[in-house]
Structure 1
């Protein structure tokens, strides 16, 4: 299952979907600290029996290969791959994905199940959308684009940015973003993706913020996770060099849910598992 669209097909694009949130989202030092603490508190958490941990640098390459395999049947990936030499495209995409995962590890915004079998990358208001790796190495990857591939990448962003502005407006800078979600084909059907999305959903609810994600074919999955389709555009329509169907680019949104306060434990009651006495 391949859910997130940005990393695999657009890992070598340095321009974020939303501008750098450090400049666009006004926040105090105390609120930034609370967001940072909340976003890292998921380390080692369990969802449906799965152990969710921060992704490590040593697993970035493995995660990249799994994500590329998961995206092989994605409609948008077909559109981009057809514009380049297949071998060159695969090598560049896996390199770009590795770079993207390593950058997310640096930002502490990548969680995984199974050491890269399933990975989610997310963005949080008040933090940067990229670390120091992407600006340095992404231009080198873009130099290998064919002219047609470069044109199709521009087409994607030219279609996406107006949709973001129209559907979300300025509040996009106050939202969390699922930037990538993928599960290795051999690990699909086990609920890994749902568990990882739920971590981000819970974080967003704790902060009282909405979450958005850009996807292609996986919008039904996000609907099951509580997201609503708020925008849809198509790329490839009218391109004489493309003979397949137009590729959909879909914008999904989830509004925050109220978090029920935890009841105080009764006197003499047992403490939760893992609590030190």
Structure 2
């Protein structure tokens, strides 16, 4: 559907050939302007509704992750290696990984969305509140196996090394900073908004829904941010930086600056 243009030239009464200056009714003109302004505000204001992601929206959600990650510092760090393979192959593998993860999250009903996949977040329960069935464990093992095969197909040796570095440092950061407390906390995982739909409150609505659930359970929340440019956004939703790790600092093949990854926490009861 073509979007409604609010910038079209308005019809001015004094453009009409039969208009006479002395007949201008300023009161009516003001009323019409206010009515137009109100209707414009109604068009601009969009009701943001958070829902569980449905299977039919997985493809769109996967594309959202792809689009949102293009300029993400961590994604750039993984992709920009001297031995990088065919970029199109890597992108196809990434797309399959996104779809695979979303399929699993949708099956477990732990992925939330706004506008049918235009903004997405994984919102699993706290680990100590999550009773996994044996079937879930078997499926997760299968998905990990498929994912590891995809990584070997689509990523070079150095890219795989950087992926391992990121995962290892994140695990260490959480363990050292939160310890056993992480088991009782909600985590905001893989938040993304399609760039074409940013600044509409989609991401904020998803964060607020996860923290609302955490508050209902009397739990704190945490997240790992892949981009310090988002720090102010998370601050506005009650998160503060507790600690951080850095990737690329000891990698001679990486020519860019070290990339910080903050661990941000929202304490239940502090709001």
- What is the TM-score of this pair, normalised by structure 2? 0.73
Asked if 1:103 is matched to 2:104, the reply is yes
Contact 1:118–1:182 (CA under 8 A) maintained in structure 2:
yes
Matched, 1:233 2:245: yes
Partner SS, residue 94 of structure 2: helix
> Is the 1:76–1:248 Cα contact (8 Å) retained in structure 2?
no
Q: Could you tell me which runs of 5 or more consecutive residues in structure 1 were left unpaired when the two chains were aligned.
A: 1-47, 260-277
Q: Give yes or no for contact 1:52–1:113 (8 Å, CA) kept in 2.
A: yes
The Cα of 1:99 is off from its aligned counterpart by 1.0
Q: Does 1:71 align with 2:69?
A: yes
After TM superposition, give the deviation of residue 106 of structure 1 in Å: 0.8
Structure 2, unmatched stretches of 5+, are 1-45
1:127 equivalent in alignment to 2:142: no
What SS class does the counterpart of residue 123 from structure 1 fall into?
coil
Q: CA RMSD in A?
A: 1.9
Higher share in helix: 2
* Distance in 2, Cα, partners of 1:94 & 1:138: 11
CA offset digits 1:16-49 (Å, max 9, x no partner): xxxxxxxxxxxxxxxxxxxxxxxxxxxxxxxx82
- Alignment coverage as a number of residue pairs: 212
Residue number among 231, 235, 255 corresponding to 1:223 in the alignment: 235
Alignment partner for residue 58 of structure 1, among 36, 51, 56?
Answer: 56
1:156 alignment counterpart:
166
Moved over 6 A (4+): 128-131
- Bigger Rg, structure 1 or 2: 2
Preserved contact between residue 75 and residue 248 of structure 1 (Cα < 8 Å): no
Measured in 2, the distance between the counterparts of 1:136 and 1:105 equals: 19
Point out which structure has higher relative CO (alpha carbons under 8 A, 6+ apart).
Answer: 1
- Aligned partners of 1:118 and 1:184 also within 8 Å: yes
